[in-house]
Amino acid sequence: MNIEYLSTLPEVANKYKVNLQDDEKVVFTAKLSTFGTETERLLGNDSAFTLTNKRIIANNGVGIWTVDILADIVSCTKKEKKDWIFKFVYFAVNLNTEIVFNNGKEKLTGFVFQFNKKDTARLEEIVNNVFN
């Protein structure tokens, strides 16, 4: 994993007003078309996505999901899924530990993030430089 690449990217506006840590900068933001678990359980539509040089933060309007890139993420890959005549492109993030949510009733070990085409292309470039 080449997390240092994120620090070389230009800072962008903190559009979704996430609380930043020391030496942290926002490098990518976007509205999500779909936000879900690794099993594709929907966590939110019209959610906000922020990538910093240290973390991924997703806000679905109900809660804020934060993962540390270096400590929590095992992999991040672009995926394509075809369903009849539709093609869905999304990013799958696998975590090294299980997250328990919904008052302990549910668990997840990863996220899926779906963006519009322009944001998909930009994030793919970042993912290729950090995770490949």
Ordered structural domains, the chain, with CATH: 4-131 (2.30.29.30)
Tens digits of pLDDT across the chain (132 residues): 999 999 999 999 999 999 999 999 999 999 999 999 998 888 987 899 999 999 999 999 888 999 999 999 999 999 988 878 888 899 999 999 999 988 889 899 999 999 998 999 999 999 999 998
Task: Give me the pLDDT at residue 88, please.
Answer: 84
Give which of 70, 79, 25, 74 is closest to 51, Cα–Cα.
25
> Residue 27, Cα to own-chain centre: how many angstroms?
12
User: What are the helix (H) ranges across the chain?
Assistant: 4-8, 69-72, 117-131
pTM above 0.85, yes or no: yes
